[in-house]
């Protein structure tokens, strides 16, 4: 896949792995949008970005990375005129993976990056004379409190969201759907991304990590949700590989893809709890339905102040642990076809996550 890729979010958990695949499997020039705060140099940003890439990735590949100063939260991506003109003339592919991922942001904060940033990426895409594809990394949870099976080609609505992250990402995705008349875009919707299967690495900011760390530390004695709720968990490796394959298929433009576990690979909250208890040597941790958890949490906040932060986090995750929609992935299965790219059940790599958390 030759050409010139422009990418946002390349320093993130998913974005960095997608960038790595482009480096390893293509000869493309890779222009990466990076925010350079006051007191930081572009060379420092380059070192940080390269630090997260494999040591055996050769020098010529790394030299294909061009850092482009900018900011998703600023008008026109904060690009200087000369840089924007150059990108518009050269870019053939765009991967938009940049986003604010926090669930507890105010809506205007989340919109500034997730919604307005996506609009700015679409505006740049319209200027790119050679553009073959824009891949927009969305989330399976743009549907908010959807029930039943969520179809890939169902456009999300503006209602029923659990937090500002979902709402702002929904608004961003709607912009991409509307822009498909002018831009050859595809929408990629990952579910809950767990870890790097090879190492078990999970970012400390990840909800999945925070819950399991609570198990390991013994701080988490109760979790909210419903034992029978089915969780859709996918490893980083699958999400990045699937995104790369889909990005190389011309007929994938103007479509949406759930990067989900698939019905056979779902795990119930109760079974995940049991796995964690066995792995960390814990007695069974009780799962409380939402109303009971809120009452229990209010008492604990008074009795154990050091738990306040963790309990607040658990309340943010509650919608995903109580009622979980099913995500149809027939578009994804069709494009992946005969490739070896398949989601791995969390049970098959859970021991690596445990080893990683124990090492922290």
Tell me the pLDDT tens digit for each residue of 171-197. 999 999 999 999 999 999 999 999 999
Residue 126 CB burial class (10 angstroms; 0-12, 13-18, ≥19)? middle
Phi/psi of residue 188, nearest 5 degrees: -115, 125
Residues 6+ apart with CB under 8 A from 348: none
Question: What digits encode the pLDDT tens for the residues 250-263?
Answer: 999 999 999 999 99
pLDDT score of 49: 81
Q: Which domains does the chain have, with CATH numbers?
A: 4-190 (3.40.50.720)
Give Cα 345 to chain centroid, integer Å: 18
Phi/psi of residue 315, nearest 5 degrees: -65, -35
Per the structure block, which two tokens stand in for 97? 């993976």
Residue 132 CB burial class (10 angstroms; 0-12, 13-18, ≥19)? middle
Residue 65 CB burial class (10 angstroms; 0-12, 13-18, ≥19)? buried
How many whole angstroms separate alpha carbon 207 and alpha carbon 212? 9
Per the structure block, which two tokens stand in for 124? 């740049």
Sequence-ordered alpha helix ranges (H) in the chain: 13-25, 42-51, 59-63, 81-90, 107-114, 116-127, 164-179, 207-217, 236-247, 269-280, 290-303, 308-322, 330-336, 350-359
How many whole angstroms separate alpha carbon 10 and alpha carbon 309? 29
pLDDT score of 58: 64
Cα torsion through 197, 16, 49, 351, rounded to 10: -10
How many whole angstroms separate alpha carbon 314 and alpha carbon 334? 36
Helix (H, G, I), strand (E, B) or coil at 6: strand
Segments in the chain below pLDDT 50 = none
The conformation of residue 117, written as its DSSP 8-state character, comes to: H
Strand partners of residue 66: 31
pLDDT score of 57: 67
What is the C-alpha end-to-end distance of the chain, expressed in Å?
A: 38
pLDDT score of 1: 60
pLDDT score of 56: 60
């Amino acid at each position: 896949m030759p050409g010139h890729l422009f990418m946002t979010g390349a320093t993130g958990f998913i974005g960095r792995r997608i960038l790595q695949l482009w480096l390893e499997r293509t000869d493309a020039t890779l222009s990466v949008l990076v925010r350079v705060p006051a007191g930081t140099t572009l060379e420092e940003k380059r070192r940080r970005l390269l630090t997260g890439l494999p040591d055996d990735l050769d020098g010529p590949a790394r030299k294909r990375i061009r850092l482009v100063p900018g900011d998703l939260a600023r008008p026109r991506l904060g690009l200087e005129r000369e840089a924007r003109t150059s990108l518009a003339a050269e870019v053939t592919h765009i991967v938009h993976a940049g986003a604010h991922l926090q669930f507890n942001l105010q809506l205007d904060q989340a919109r500034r990056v997730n919604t307005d940033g996506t609009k700015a990426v679409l505006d740049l895409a319209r200027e790119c004379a050679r553009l073959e594809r824009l891949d927009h990394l969305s989330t399976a949870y743009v549907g908010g409190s959807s029930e039943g099976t969520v179809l890939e080609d169902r456009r999300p609505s503006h209602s029923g969201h659990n937090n500002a992250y979902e709402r702002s990402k929904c608004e961003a995705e709607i912009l991409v759907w509307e822009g498909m008349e002018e831009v050859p875009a595809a929408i990629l919707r990952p579910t809950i991304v767990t870890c790097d299967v090879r190492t078990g690495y999970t970012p400390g900011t990840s909800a999945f990590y925070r819950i399991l760390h609570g198990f390991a530390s013994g701080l988490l004695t109760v979790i909210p949700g419903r034992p029978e709720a089915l969780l859709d968990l996918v490893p980083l490796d699958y999400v990045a590989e699937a995104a790369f394959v889909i990005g190389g298929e011309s007929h994938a433009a103007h479509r949406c893809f759930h990067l989900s576990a698939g019905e056979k690979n779902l795990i119930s909250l109760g079974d995940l709890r049991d796995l964690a208890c066995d792995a960390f040597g814990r007695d069974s941790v009780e799962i409380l339905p939402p109303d009971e958890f809120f009452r229990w949490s209010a008492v604990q906040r008074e009795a154990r102040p050091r738990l306040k932060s963790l309990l607040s986090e658990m309340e943010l995750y509650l919608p995903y642990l109580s009622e979980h929609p099913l995500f149809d992935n027939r578009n994804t299965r069709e494009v992946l076809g005969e490739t070896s790219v398949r989601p791995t059940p969390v049970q098959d790599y859970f021991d690596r996550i445990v080893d990683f958390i124990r090492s922290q």
